[in-house]
């Protein structure tokens, strides 16, 4: 069985993880191996990106029968939507590693490597069982990281996030199995391949609705959508930097990805029918979480709410049923991952140096750490959606999309320009700029590695804001394919 | 031809700012870079942009066709292209000329004003970034590119207002400016999106939008016009979004001169003039704009009469003068509005810079009643400030007279007598509070006779002289025909199709006389009350006007407090006690039925993670076998 490039991208980190586990690598050795791996993967992903053709169909396909009697296949492939998320992941991970460089244990690095395998596996899977397998495999090491390396009431956090996730996962698993059985009943053989599952015709409307929400609950928890967000605060606040970075900038986006990859093609009619619900849940979340963020004292909790606010907006975009909203959502996935990821790394450093998460106990950081402040400012302006950053391009497109869906939705969603600005600037004033007499003398400015890690994020935020089209053309055919072929919407 | 140079008008200050920013970080982290190096990069930028602007001015003089340069395809979705495009027409180039000219002078002034500041490089980094944004705003060929500049201006003003960021009050002022501007931006975005769907099918640049709007129902056009207006009000500090402007004086004085007088706040007026094709079709909305302008003008003038902080007086006078500009553009007198933008840029920059010079000389004293007698100490500043005050008060032949006269004529000629009366009353007040400032600061008996004055460098005084000359001459580009002049500005801005006025010459002459009379009345009252003011007693102001009609407090009560309460309710009550309980309750029930609850509550994370995986595997296997 010769593996294709996607398989290498998936399994290289796992291979490195097991190798370092067995061989007598220390923490440093494991870290260096992990970093090297992430660079190699970045190179591989770049070549995939470069060779990706401008169509909306799956590319780089790999298909092997795994468990033939149950029709479970090892089936991989990517389209434009997965491609940009892949590129995002490949860019973010080496940056994060540079930030996590010092003071982590061997177990931490092995967990990180395994997470990377889980994430890319989830992203490439074109078989429902395989997807489910990677989806769970990705979560396990995250819980390990939070449980073992987190702060505060971390056991509670872990249990809570797990209880939520297990609930969602079970709904999804039952839905997947139900779909498999239905396929068997209709066609007489087993298959969980997405290509086959979408051919099912024998479901009643009630069955379809149940299954639709079975998937949606799993993804809604992961994203999180209102009202499944309450696990978020504890978890983000108590997670170690690496964990919260992965959760916020990558895994939350995989929830959105799951909706687009599976829910949309399997239930295209319901997707259209229920779109208004999700457009409005998204907009509601945008405003609700935005307001909730304002008075948060804990800076990580504030970012958790801020994150949820934007993810709601992404969901609005993908359910807007037009090309503007959906491309905007794809763009916001990237923009938000870079900015939030960057912010969590920066805040993680602040927490590490000072041991403080409370905004009123901070202040005067700008004077101590100017380079830190510059990067913080860039990420913040991206979240705020300032033109010249990719945050603006994506927000503008989603508002356009929402307006195309319904003018009321468009006008209400335009309030996004006020929401993030209000709490972000206030936080920036109190936590970073103003000197409030707190002792922040232990705060250090960024070192060379940290600058190196932050530069690609800052560069992309601005480059994608000034020249968005250069990043757009790869994904647009895919979105057109979704709309024209899958959802059958003609403009 | 050389159309790409249009982009360089924006790029030069942008590149200069990026270089300055990098150099600044290098300077604080590695080795100190002397100020002169920063100055070199900083001061050349507006100069080069000005020269480029002049070259385009002459091209337009030869051939009046619009010059467009499309740098690249900014965004292309669904076959719909939006270019990073620049447009030079009579309006945009006119704006470029005085922005870069006045901006350049303020740069020179700032190089003196800021010379002892640690953040010299950072200051000019922001300054040139601001300049680049403003130029992009003006030169953009579509609303969305304009919006990039528009917001850039907003964020730079935030950075510059909170320049002394260690004091939280300054940052609060910056936040306020940013948020108030963002409320405006909300309107701008809604307007853009509505335009996009209703009028943008052929393209999103101004030329295509103008064509596209021909068939749009008037209700939609009114909606767009009103939403855009919110944006304009936010930027130009008109009622009800003006609260940020007085607080914005927290920034260094050159910032006030550049942003809050000569450039940024005029963006709203520019926007209305730029969308003249829209507002021509919806005169009712235009009238609404004029009323907002009139009330803002009067309101700000009233507050200004009782302020004691020299910069706040000027801030309110800016708001008041902007009100005049809104009257003009609202009533279709676009060229009159832009004319006042132009003359105002000179005398207001001069007023701020003069005020800054006094403030520096008196070691950062800003209360006018603690100044006094500055005429003898700083004669040059006095003389130039006098010219600026005469100009803003509307005394002929100084610059403000001609532009203000044209605006009031527009109001009268349009039959909007109520607006016209407000305009005249405001003119009286303007002359009053400006001469009050001048008399108290420069004539009043010395507050403290023997204090040491901080010396003023040439960099700070030379721009004052140039701007004083400008404040004398700038009005002559729009001398009414009545006085045997030629309204060059009206001719140059012909493309805006400003409303033609039909007022009889005799009436026009009467009106002109009345305007002069109004200014003189204001001057005389100020003379009587403040010319020989006894500086030993600082007046105690109280009451409604001194407290700015309590607008800030009202906003705090209505919006800020409510929002904070709601935020606390959501994040500390609703989420924790209600939503979490429900969702957790359901999920606990769900898991309990799965019969793994004993293990789950063992609180052993690793055990737990393991059992989760096992549980899922077992359930999967079970289901697969059962369903076989």
Output the pLDDT for position B606. 47
Distance from CA of B576 to the nearest CA of A (A): 7
Answer whether B491 touches A (CB < 8 Å). Answer: no
Residue B39 pLDDT > 50: yes
CB contact under 8 A, B144 and A148: no
Answer whether A467 touches B (CB < 8 Å). Answer: yes
Residue A173 covered by a domain: no
Instruction: Name chain B contacts of A433, Cβ cutoff 8 Å.
Output: 162, 165-166, 168, 171
DSSP B275-310: THHHHTT-HHHHHHHHHHHHHHHHHHHHHHTT--BH
Q: How many CB atoms lie within 10 A of CB A49?
A: 15
Among the residues of A295-359, which ranges form H helices? 299-318, 323-354
Distance CA B313, CA B260 (A): 12
Output the pLDDT for position A196. 86
Closest CA to B196 of B166, B160, B227: B227
Between β-strands A72-78 and B67-77, what pairing exists: parallel, antiparallel or unpaired?
unpaired
CB contact under 8 A, B76 and A469: yes
Q: Where do the structural domains in chain B lie, given as residue ranges?
A: 284-538, 547-585, 594-628
Tens of pLDDT along A313-323? 999 999 999 98
Q: How sure is the predictor about B620, in pLDDT bands with cuts at 50, 70 and 90?
A: very low
Residue A380 covered by a domain: yes
Residue B109 pLDDT > 60: yes
Distance from CA of B79 to the nearest CA of A (A): 10
Distance CA B173, CA B244 (A): 7
Answer whether A295 touches B (CB < 8 Å). Answer: yes
Q: Which tokens sit at B235?
A: 């930027």
Q: Which residue has the tokens 């024998």?
A: A202
Beta bridge partners of B73: B83
Helix, strand or coil for residue A62? strand
Q: Which of residues 534-573 of B touch A (CB under 8 A)?
A: 563-564, 566-568, 570-572
CB contact under 8 A, B78 and A476: yes
Task: List CB contacts of B565: < 8 A, sequence separation 6 or more.
Answer: none
Residue A287 covered by a domain: yes
Q: Which of residues 83-142 of B touch A (CB under 8 A)?
A: 84
Answer whether B202 touches A (CB < 8 Å). Answer: no
Q: Do the beta carbons of residue B154 and residue B50 sit within 8 Å? A: no
Instruction: Name chain B contacts of A299, Cβ cutoff 8 Å.
Output: none
Beta bridge partners of B80: B77
Helix, strand or coil for residue A387? strand
Q: Which tokens sit at B33?
A: 């870079």
Output the pLDDT for position B46. 92
Instruction: Name chain A contacts of B591, Cβ cutoff 8 Å.
Output: 163, 166-167
Residue A258 covered by a domain: no
Output the pLDDT for position A153. 65
Q: Which tokens sit at B307?
A: 């302020």
Whole-angstrom distance between the N-terminal and C-terminal Cα of chain A? 44
Give mean pLDDT, residues B552-556. 79
Output the pLDDT for position B28. 85
Domain holding A311, by residue range, is 274-491
Of A206-210, B518-522, B608-612, least confident by mean pLDDT is B608-612
Distance CA A19, CA A29 (A): 11
Residue A476 covered by a domain: yes
Output the pLDDT for position B446. 66
Give mean pLDDT, residues B207-230. 90
Output the pLDDT for position B55. 92
Q: How sure is the predictor about B573, in pLDDT bands with cuts at 50, 70 and 90?
A: confident
pLDDT in tens, chain A (491 residues): 346 888 899 989 988 988 888 888 888 888 999 999 999 999 999 999 988 888 888 888 888 887 777 778 888 899 889 999 999 999 999 999 999 888 788 888 888 888 888 899 999 999 998 898 888 888 777 777 777 777 666 666 666 777 777 778 888 888 888 898 889 888 888 888 888 888 888 888 988 999 999 999 889 988 888 888 888 887 888 888 888 888 888 888 889 999 999 999 999 999 999 999 999 999 999 999 999 888 888 898 899 999 999 999 999 999 999 989 999 999 999 999 999 999 999 998 888 888 888 888 888 888 888 899 999 999 999 999 899 899 999 999 999 999 999 999 999 999 888 888 888 888 888 888 888 788 888 888 888 889 999 999 999 999 999 998 888 888 888 888 888 888 887 65
Closest CA to B426 of B329, B545, B521, B342: B521
Q: Which of residues 22-81 of B touch A (CB under 8 A)?
A: 25, 28-29, 72-78
Distance from CA of B190 to the nearest CA of A (A): 6
CB contact under 8 A, A167 and B186: no
ipTM of the complex: 0.89
Beta bridge partners of A75: A63
Residue B548 pLDDT > 80: no
Output the pLDDT for position B40. 87
Q: Which of residues 247-286 of A touch B (CB under 8 A)?
A: none
Q: Do the beta carbons of residue B210 and residue A427 sit within 8 Å? A: no
Q: Which tokens sit at B362?
A: 């008196």
Residue B450 pLDDT > 70: no
Torsion of CA B23, B25, B29, B32, to 10 degrees: 40
Q: Which tokens sit at A418?
A: 């006020």
CA angle B276, B277, B281 (to 5 degrees): 105
Q: How sure is the predictor about B143, in pLDDT bands with cuts at 50, 70 and 90?
A: very high
Tens of pLDDT along B460-487? 888 899 989 988 888 888 777 777 777 7
CB contact under 8 A, A305 and B571: yes
Answer whether A403 touches B (CB < 8 Å). Answer: yes
Give mean pLDDT, residues B53-76. 88
Of A136-150, B2-16, B237-251, B292-306, least confident by mean pLDDT is A136-150
Output the pLDDT for position B613. 58
Answer whether A54 touches B (CB < 8 Å). Answer: no
Q: How many domains is chain A built from? A: 1
Distance from CA of B144 to the nearest CA of A (A): 9
Distance from CA of A34 to the nearest CA of B (A): 23
Tens of pLDDT along A240-253? 888 888 888 888 88
Between these two residues, A248 and B599, which has the higher pLDDT value?
Answer: A248
Q: How sure is the predictor about B598, in pLDDT bands with cuts at 50, 70 and 90?
A: very low
Residue A474 covered by a domain: yes
**H/E stretch holding B71:** strand B67-77
Residue A286 covered by a domain: yes
Answer whether B580 touches A (CB < 8 Å). Answer: yes
The per-residue pLDDT of chain B, averaged, comes to: 84
Q: Do the beta carbons of residue B107 and residue B39 sit within 8 Å? A: no
Q: At what angle do helices B379-393 and B458-473 cross, to 10 degrees?
A: 30
Of A158-167, B370-379, B414-423, least confident by mean pLDDT is A158-167
Residue A296 covered by a domain: yes
Q: Which tokens sit at A213?
A: 């929400």
Output the pLDDT for position B449. 54
Q: Which of A147, A371, A411 sits opposite B605 (nearest CB)?
A: A147
Instruction: Name chain A contacts of B144, Cβ cutoff 8 Å.
Output: 396
Burial of residue A207 (CB within 10 Å: 0-12, 13-18, 19+) is middle
What is the dihedral sign for C-alpha B27, B32, B36, B40?
A: negative
């Amino acid at each position: 069985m010769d593996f294709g490039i996607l398989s290498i991208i998936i399994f290289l980190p796992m291979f490195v993880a097991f190798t370092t586990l067995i061989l007598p690598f220390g923490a440093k050795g494991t870290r260096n191996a992990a970093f090297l791996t992430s660079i190699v993967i970045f190179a591989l992903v770049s070549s995939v990106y470069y060779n990706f053709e401008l169509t909306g169909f799956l590319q780089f396909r790999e298909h092997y029968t795994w468990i033939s009697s149950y029709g479970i296949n090892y089936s991989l492939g990517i389209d434009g939507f997965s491609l940009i998320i892949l590129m995002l992941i490949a860019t973010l991970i080496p940056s994060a590693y540079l930030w996590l460089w010092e003071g982590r244990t061997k177990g931490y690095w092995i967990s990180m490597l395994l997470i990377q395998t889980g994430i890319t596996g989830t992203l490439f899977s074109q078989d429902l069982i395989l997807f489910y397998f990677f989806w769970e495999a990705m979560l396990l090491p995250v819980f390990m990281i939070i449980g073992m390396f987190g702060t505060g009431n971390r056991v509670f956090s872990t249990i809570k996030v797990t209880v939520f996730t297990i609930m969602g996962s079970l709904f999804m698993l039952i839905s997947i199995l139900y779909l498999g059985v239905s396929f068997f009943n209709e066609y007489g053989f087993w298959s969980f391949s997405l290509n086959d599952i979408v051919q099912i015709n024998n479901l009643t409307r009630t069955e379809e609705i149940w299954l639709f929400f079975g998937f949606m609950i799993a993804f809604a928890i992961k994203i999180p959508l209102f009202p499944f967000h309450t696990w978020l605060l504890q978890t983000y606040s108590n997670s170690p930097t690496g964990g919260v970075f992965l959760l916020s900038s990558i895994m939350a986006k995989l929830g959105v990805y799951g909706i687009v990859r599976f829910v949309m093609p399997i239930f295209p009619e319901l997707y259209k029918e229920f779109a208004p619900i999700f457009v409005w849940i998204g907009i509601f979340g945008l405003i609700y979480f935005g307001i909730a963020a304002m008075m948060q004292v804990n800076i990580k909790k504030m970012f958790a709410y801020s994150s949820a606010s934007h993810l709601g907006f992404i969901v609005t975009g993908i359910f807007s049923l037009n090309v503007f909203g959906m491309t905007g959502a794809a763009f916001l996935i990237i923009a938000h991952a870079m900015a939030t990821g960057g912010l969590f790394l920066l805040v993680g450093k602040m927490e590490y140096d000072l041991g403080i998460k409370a905004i009123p106990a901070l202040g005067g950081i700008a004077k101590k750490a100017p380079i830190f402040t510059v990067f913080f400012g860039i990420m913040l302006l991206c979240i705020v959606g300032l033109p010249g950053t990719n945050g603006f391009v994506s927000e503008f497109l989603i508002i356009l999309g929402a307006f195309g869906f319904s003018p009321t939705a468009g006008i209400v969603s335009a309030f996004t320009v006020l929401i993030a600005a209000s709490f972000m600037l206030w936080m920036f004033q109190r936590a970073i700029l103003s000197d409030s007499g707190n002792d922040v003398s232990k705060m250090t400015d960024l070192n060379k590695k940290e600058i190196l890690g932050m530069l690609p994020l800052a560069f992309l935020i601005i480059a994608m804001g000034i020249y968005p089209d250069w990043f757009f053309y790869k994904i647009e055919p895919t979105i057109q394919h979704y709309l024209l072929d899958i959802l059958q919407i003609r403009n | 031809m050389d159309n790409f140079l249009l982009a360089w008008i924006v790029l030069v200050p942008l590149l200069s700012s990026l270089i300055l920013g990098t150099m600044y970080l290098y300077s604080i982290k590695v080795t100190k870079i002397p100020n002169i190096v920063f100055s070199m990069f900083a001061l050349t930028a507006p100069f080069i942009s000005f020269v480029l602007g002049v070259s385009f001015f002459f091209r337009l003089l030869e051939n009046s066709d619009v010059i467009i340069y499309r740098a690249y395809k900014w965004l292309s979705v669904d076959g719909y292209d939006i270019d990073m495009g620049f447009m030079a027409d009579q309006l945009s180039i006119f704006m470029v000329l005085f922005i870069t000219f006045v901006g350049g002078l303020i740069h020179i002034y700032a190089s003196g004003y800021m010379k002892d500041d640690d953040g010299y490089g950072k200051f000019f980094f922001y300054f040139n970034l601001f300049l680049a944004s403003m130029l992009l705003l003006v030169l953009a060929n579509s609303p969305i590119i304009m919006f990039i500049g528009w917001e850039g201006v907003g964020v730079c003003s935030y950075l510059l207002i909170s320049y002394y960021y260690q004091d939280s009050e300054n940052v609060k002022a910056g936040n306020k400016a940013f948020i108030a501007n963002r409320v405006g931006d909300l309107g701008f975005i809604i307007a853009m999106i509505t335009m996009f769907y209703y009028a943008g099918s052929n393209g999103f640049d101004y030329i295509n939008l103008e064509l596209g709007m021909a068939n749009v129902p008037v209700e939609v056009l009114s909606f767009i016009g009103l939403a855009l207006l919110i944006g304009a009000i936010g930027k130009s500090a008109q009622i009800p979004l003006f609260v940020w402007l007085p607080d914005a004086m927290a920034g260094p004085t050159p910032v006030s001169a550049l942003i809050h007088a000569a450039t940024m706040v005029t963006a709203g007026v520019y926007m209305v003039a730029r969308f003249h094709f829209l507002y021509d079709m919806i005169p009712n909305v235009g009238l609404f704009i004029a009323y907002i302008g009139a009330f803002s003008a009067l309101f700000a003038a009233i507050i200004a009469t009782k302020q004691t902080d020299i910069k706040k007086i000027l801030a309110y006078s800016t708001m008041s003068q902007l009100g005049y500009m809104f009257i003009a553009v609202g009533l279709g007198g676009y060229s009159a509005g832009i004319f006042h933008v132009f003359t105002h840029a000179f005398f207001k920059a001069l007023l701020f810079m003069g005020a800054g010079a006094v403030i520096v000389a008196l070691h950062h004293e800003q209360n006018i009643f603690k100044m006094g007698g500055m005429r003898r100490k700083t004669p040059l500043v006095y003389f130039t400030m006098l010219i600026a005050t005469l100009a803003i008060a509307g005394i002929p032949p100084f610059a403000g007279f001609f532009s203000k006269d044209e605006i009031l004529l527009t109001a009268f000629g349009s039959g909007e007598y109520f607006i016209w009366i407000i305009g005249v009353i405001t003119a009286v007040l303007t002359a009053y509070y400006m001469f009050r400032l001048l008399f108290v600061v420069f004539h009043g008996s010395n507050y403290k006779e023997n204090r040491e004055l901080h010396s003023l460098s040439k960099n700070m005084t030379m721009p004052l002289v140039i701007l004083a000359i400008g404040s004398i001459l700038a009005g002559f580009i729009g001398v009414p025909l009545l006085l045997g002049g030629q309204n060059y500005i009206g001719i140059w801005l012909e493309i805006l199709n400003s409303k033609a006025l039909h007022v009889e010459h005799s009436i026009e002459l009467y009106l002109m006389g009345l305007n002069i009379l109004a200014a003189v009345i204001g001057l005389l009252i100020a003379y009587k009350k403040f010319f020989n003011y006894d500086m030993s007693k600082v007046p105690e102001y109280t009451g409604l006007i001194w407290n700015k009609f309590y607008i800030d407090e009202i906003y705090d009560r209505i919006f800020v407090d409510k929002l904070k309460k709601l935020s606390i309710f959501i994040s500390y009550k609703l989420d924790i006690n209600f939503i979490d309980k429900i969702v957790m309750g359901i999920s606990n029930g769900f898991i309990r039925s799965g019969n793994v609850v004993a293990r789950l509550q063992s609180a052993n994370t690793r055990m737990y993670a393991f059992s989760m995986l096992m549980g899922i595997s077992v359930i999967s296997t079970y289901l697969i076998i059962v369903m076989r």
